[in-house]
Amino acid sequence: MLPVSLQTSFPKGMLMTQRVRITINGKLFESDVEPRLLLTDFIRGVAGLTGTHVGCETSICGACTILANGLAVKSCTMFAVQADGSDLVTIEGMAKDGQLHPLQQSFWEEHGLQCGYCTTGMIMCAHQLLARNATPTEAEIRDGLTGNLCRCTGYQNIVKAVQSASGKMRQTQNVAAGD
Amino acid sequence: MKYVGQAIKRKEDPRLVSGSSSFVDDLALPGMLHTAVARSIHAHARIKRIDISQAWKLAGVTAVVTGEEIAGKCGPIPVAGEIHGMKKPVMHLLAVGKVIYVGQPVAAVVASDKYIARDAADLIEIEYEPLPAVTNPEKAIEPGSPVIHEQFSDNIAYTFGFETGNTEEAFKNADVVVKERFVNQRLAPVSMETRGAVATVQAPDRELVIWSSTQIPHLLKTQLAVMVGVPEHRTRVITPEVGGGFGSKLNVYAEEGLVAYLALKTGKPVKWIEGRRENLACTIHGRDQINDVELALKKDGTILGMRAKVVADIGGYYQLLTAIIPQLTGLLAPGAYRVPTFKFDLVGAFTNKMATDAYRGAGRPEATYLIERIVDCAAQKLKMDPAEIRRKNFPQPSEFPFATSGGVVYDSANYEKALDKALQLADYAGLRKKQAEMRAQGKYMGIGLSSYVEICAMGPSVAMPAGGWESGSVRIEPTGKVTVLTGASPHGQGQETSFSQIVADEFGIGIDDVFVQHGDTARIPYGIGTFGSRATAVGGTAIYMAVQDLKAKLAGIAAHILQSSPDKIVFEDGKLIAGDADKSMTFGAAVTQAYIARNLPPGMEPGLDRTRFFEPSNFTFPFGTHVCVVEIDEETGEPKITKYVAVDDCGNVINPLLAEGQIHGGIVQGVAQALYEEVVYDENGQLLTGSLMDYALPRAHDLPMLELDRTVTPSPVNPMGVKGVGEAGTIGSTPAVVNAIVDALSPLGVTHIDMPVRPEKIWKILKGRKAS
């Protein structure tokens, strides 16, 4: 569950801010923010991580998808104060040791992106999809991605990319498990 | 050939999949201010009073501007597309005196952060006197309609028409005439990245630098320089990563002028990022035509003539190319057929809505929809197979170049080959058999064809409002690395990769030794931009030509040193090989010679840097056949696409991965026009589809896997034989889907159904059937 702490203790008339502590990709960011500051603006503006994009401001397009405490959420309709104490992962946290995450690698190989604007959110959503179901069918992938819009690819190569990543990630897990 | 024709994965992608690329909203300049725009809430109203005092009082606000200030200091919104005799209303960056559509910019504020800017914009009090609005284009041009631009007598923006041959005669001699009204509904382009711009005045030369999410950096630079009165050689436009355009960023918008003006006024960097609601209301829309079409035929299905009357909804004013988009519909209306006589009548209508302009396909999807639908109407009436009526009217490959009654000359094609391939791939005979079986069980299944042709590689300058050429520069650096500068401005199409493939192959070097740059007017020679499926066929050709010049020079150097002759030098595997002398030198060694310049052939200049401007002699005309299969859910009326086959011919292909990607995306956008999307204004001109909660974009689960194939008919218009592929999918797919739905419902006597074909429209038809 996401911690929700909206209590404020500022006298009337003063600019109301609240201290938040948010961990993003393993690094703690601490800042005094207005309660109305959107989480996307915290990630992009305060933490300077601009790989998370804003596409619609209404939770429809999913360009702003991140992981909050392991769950994919649309950060454009969350306030930063709602994420106080949370542990977030953004697209910038996906590659490890200079190696692209299998999802990033697969989007590249399968031409699962064109303009690239939706891609970062799409990858974060696909990450949750595969975490919940390591071997999804085509229909399950398509259903799992309905909360993320892409205007360029017609989704076909995105579906292929997720299929490919699913194979890669299973392989890695098998190797790790000594199979 | 090492790279061209191969599915090379994109050079662009590592930065995009890792989130390290920089879109315009990712820019953060020291001291940057933010602007927000106060917009009209009325479709048509006089502005009685604007009170900015409350906005000014807000801490953090540094400027508030209104139309009165701007009109005296900035030029109007530029209009490049003109039709002879058209009415030309002047549109200022901010409204002066009255507003003519919902969302029109009225005032702008500049503040220290975007939240404060938004608060301040909301504190601007604008008092309006509402006027009657008109949103229906046919009503708008009737006498007695409220007149939007009061300096004119009516809302007829322009009329345009032509007749090829004698259509009256053709219709008199016809055995059959079919007639239908087709509506190409208004659509919103909805690039996933909205528009946005940042402007700053840079020391020490007071250069005005504008970063904009645009498809046309150079044209934008010229227009902004003129608009805000800064000399063009001290104006620079940079396009950072651009998150899609689809034609909507092929424009010069009020807000781009505003940020430039506000940066000059405040002396600080100023950023404006469009919200999605603004994007749906205030970025150009597409389509919005009413097409009344008649087709005259002989009993055997031979087409004798066509008449098309088009009412095009301009919106309240013209953006850059608004007026000429519907003209393209006339050029392409005869489609892939011999239509010996054709009469085209077009009226542009001003309405109290956002301007229409180029949206993926721009005028050609409308044309393809009207011809592909009316041909199906004719087949239905003549009880002919839709494939056969098409086949009967195709011009044969030997007839190309083929002059059409639309007034253009098609470059090359084999329409029948693409049709046959698509029918085979789809198992058309098997589908018809299955359809008969399903019909016998009372089920609704339909098969739709679309044999489209389209106009690409825009285009010859004589046919374009602002130059149809493109620039390409190639510079070989002393270390042998190659820098390519293109005037095209890719925004997702992948030309950093495909252009590298072309250059690497020609020089016989590795693809990683080539770096393609675009979208910075200070670095790149003047260019036109990316739109109209032109980047590879026109921009790629300019680069190809520059490469040929440099190859000739390098061959001269190599021949001089190897004691061979330039025409014997072959570029291969990083070497320049003199076949006759059985000698070679590395590419790098030859390049070094060009810069050291101590042993050059007599009279040769040093250096390896060449810019070419390619002026195409004609458009190119890609084509293909799409087959769509739908099954209809009898309970809900939902049409489900169960199979989609597309055989496209875009000439030679540089990178099949990218070409297929363009077709996938294009098809889904075209399907979306057929099934989902529609910009809706109510009769008062209020936008009802103002967010993505109301405007239905296609989603991942809406489609099956598309089955693609190709035929290859090279274009004779450019040396690489390429045609262009950016819009083909969108143009071909829409009528295939509607034809399939009408085919499914034809046992009920249905001959047409308007787009978007949402389940409720079909459900009503099915319900009517049950009731009777």
Structure tokens at B197: 């711009």
**Chain A interface mutation, best of B16, B658, B689, highest count of A Cβ atoms under 10 Å:** B16
Residues A74 and A41 in one domain: yes
Structure tokens at B523: 């670095």
Helix and strand numbers (H, E) in chain B are 20, 28
**CATH classification code of B469-614:** 3.30.365.10
> Kind of pairing, strands A71-74 and B207-212?
unpaired
Domain ranges of chain B: 13-131+190-282, 155-180+287-378, 409-453+618-772, 469-614
Given a cut of 70, the residues of chain B with pLDDT beneath it are: 1, 581, 770-772
Inter-chain CB proximity B115 and A108 less than 8 Å:
no
Inter-chain CB proximity A113 and B17 less than 8 Å:
yes
Alpha-carbon torsion B505, B509, B511, B515, what sign?
A: negative
Instruction: State the Cα–Cα distance between residues B512 and B305, nearest whole angstrom.
Output: 54
Inter-chain CB proximity A104 and B22 less than 8 Å:
no
Give the model's pLDDT for residue A10.
40
Q: Please state which of the four CATH numbers 3.30.365.10, 2.40.50.100, 3.40.50.720, 3.40.50.2300 is assigned to the domain occupying B155-180+287-378.
A: 3.30.365.10
Q: How many residues does chain B have?
A: 772
Number of domains in chain A: 2
DSSP labels for B560-625? Answer: HHHTS-GGGEEEETTEEEETTTTEEEEHHHHHHHHHH-SSPPTTPPS--EEEEEE--SS-B--EEE
Q: With beta carbons under 8 A apart, name residues in chain A contacting B672.
A: none
Those of residues 31-90 in A touching chain B at CB distance below 8 A are 34, 36-37, 44-45, 48-58, 60-61, 63, 90
Residue A160 lies in a domain: yes
Give the model's pLDDT for residue B391.
98
First to last CA, chain A: 34
Q: With beta carbons under 8 A apart, name residues in chain A contacting B9.
A: 108-109, 111
Instruction: State the Cα–Cα distance between residues B19 and B491, nearest whole angstrom.
Output: 16
- Closest approach of chain A CAs to the CA of B552, in angstroms? 35
A169, A132 contact by CB (below 8 A): no
Buried b / exposed e over B424-443, threshold 16 CB at 10 Å, is ebbebeebeeebeeeeeeee
For the domain made up of B13-131+190-282, the CATH class stated in words is alpha beta
Instruction: State the Cα–Cα distance between residues A114 and B244, nearest whole angstrom.
Output: 8
Residues A23 and A79 in one domain: yes
Do domains B13-131+190-282 and B409-453+618-772 share one topology? The answer is no
User: Residue B244's closest chain A neighbor by CA?
Assistant: A115
Tokens 């203790």 appear where?
A9
DSSP labels for B734-760? Answer: HHHHHHHHHHHHGGGT----PSS--HH
- Closest approach of chain B CAs to the CA of A7, in angstroms? 21
Give the model's pLDDT for residue B513.
98
Decide: residue B723, CB within 10 A, 0-12 exposed, 13-18 middle, 19+ buried: buried
User: Residue B699's closest chain A neighbor by CA?
Assistant: A146
B334, B404 contact by CB (below 8 A): yes
- Closest approach of chain B CAs to the CA of A179, in angstroms? 30
Give the other-Cβ count within 10 Å of B656's Cβ.
15
- Closest approach of chain A CAs to the CA of B25, in angstroms? 8
Inter-chain CB proximity A57 and B703 less than 8 Å:
no
Tally C-beta pairs within 8 A across A and B.
172
Q: With beta carbons under 8 A apart, name residues in chain A contacting B668.
A: 154-155
Give the model's pLDDT for residue B600.
97
- Closest approach of chain A CAs to the CA of B517, in angstroms? 16
Decide: residue B772, CB within 10 A, 0-12 exposed, 13-18 middle, 19+ buried: exposed
Tokens 């498809």 appear where?
B215
pLDDT (mean) for A125-136: 98
Residue A70 belongs to what domain range? Answer: 18-93
Of A93, A123, A140, which residue sits at a domain end?
A93
Residues A64 and A46 in one domain: yes
- Closest approach of chain A CAs to the CA of B136, in angstroms? 28
Structure tokens at B604: 């040769």
CA-based nearest residue to B502, from B488, B492, B520: B488
Give the model's pLDDT for residue B1.
64
Of A57, A75, A93, which residue sits at a domain end?
A93
Give the model's pLDDT for residue A5.
38
Q: How many residues does chain A have?
A: 179
User: Residue A56's closest chain B neighbor by CA?
Assistant: B276
Residue A135: CATH number of its domain: 1.10.150.120
pLDDT at A129 over 80: yes
At residue A160 the predicted structure's pLDDT band, cuts being 50, 70 and 90, is very high
Residues A23 and A85 in one domain: yes
H-type alpha helices, chain A? 39-41, 102-109, 119-132, 138-144, 156-176
Of A62, A93, A124, which residue sits at a domain end?
A93
**Chain B interface mutation, best of A151, A157, A160, highest count of B Cβ atoms under 10 Å:** A151
Give the model's pLDDT for residue B459.
83
Q: With beta carbons under 8 A apart, name residues in chain A contacting B492.
A: 114-116, 152
CA-based nearest residue to B244, from B651, B697, B696, B624: B697
Give the model's pLDDT for residue A2.
35
Chain-centre distance for alpha carbon A5? 22
Residues A47 and A83 in one domain: yes
DSSP B333: T
B244 vs A92, A105, A117: nearest CB: A117
Residues A124 and A87 in one domain: no
For helices B656-675 and A156-176, what crossing angle results, to 10°?
120
**Chain B interface mutation, best of A120, A138, A152, highest count of B Cβ atoms under 10 Å:** A152
CA-based nearest residue to B656, from B2, B4, B7, B1: B7
Q: Would you state the CATH architecture of domain B409-453+618-772?
A: 2-Layer Sandwich (3.30)
User: Residue A43's closest chain B neighbor by CA?
Assistant: B26
Inter-chain CB proximity B13 and A108 less than 8 Å:
yes
Q: With beta carbons under 8 A apart, name residues in chain A contacting B115.
A: 34, 36-37
Inter-chain CB proximity B18 and A36 less than 8 Å:
no
Residues A123 and A56 in one domain: no
Average pLDDT taken over every residue of chain A: 91
pLDDT at A9 over 90: no
Inter-chain CB proximity A51 and B19 less than 8 Å:
yes
pLDDT at A177 over 80: no
Q: Give ∠ CA B251-B733-B743 in degrees, rounded to 5.
A: 140
Residues A151 and A85 in one domain: no
Give the model's pLDDT for residue B579.
83
B192 vs A50, A57, A117: nearest CB: A117
Inter-chain CB proximity B191 and A151 less than 8 Å:
yes
Q: With beta carbons under 8 A apart, name residues in chain A contacting B241.
A: 115-116
Those of residues 122-161 in A touching chain B at CB distance below 8 A are 123, 138-139, 141-143, 145-146, 148-159
- Closest approach of chain B CAs to the CA of A120, in angstroms? 6
CA-based nearest residue to B256, from B340, B201, B196: B196
First to last CA, chain B: 65
Residue A48: CATH number of its domain: 3.10.20.30
Q: With beta carbons under 8 A apart, name residues in chain B contacting A158.
A: 700
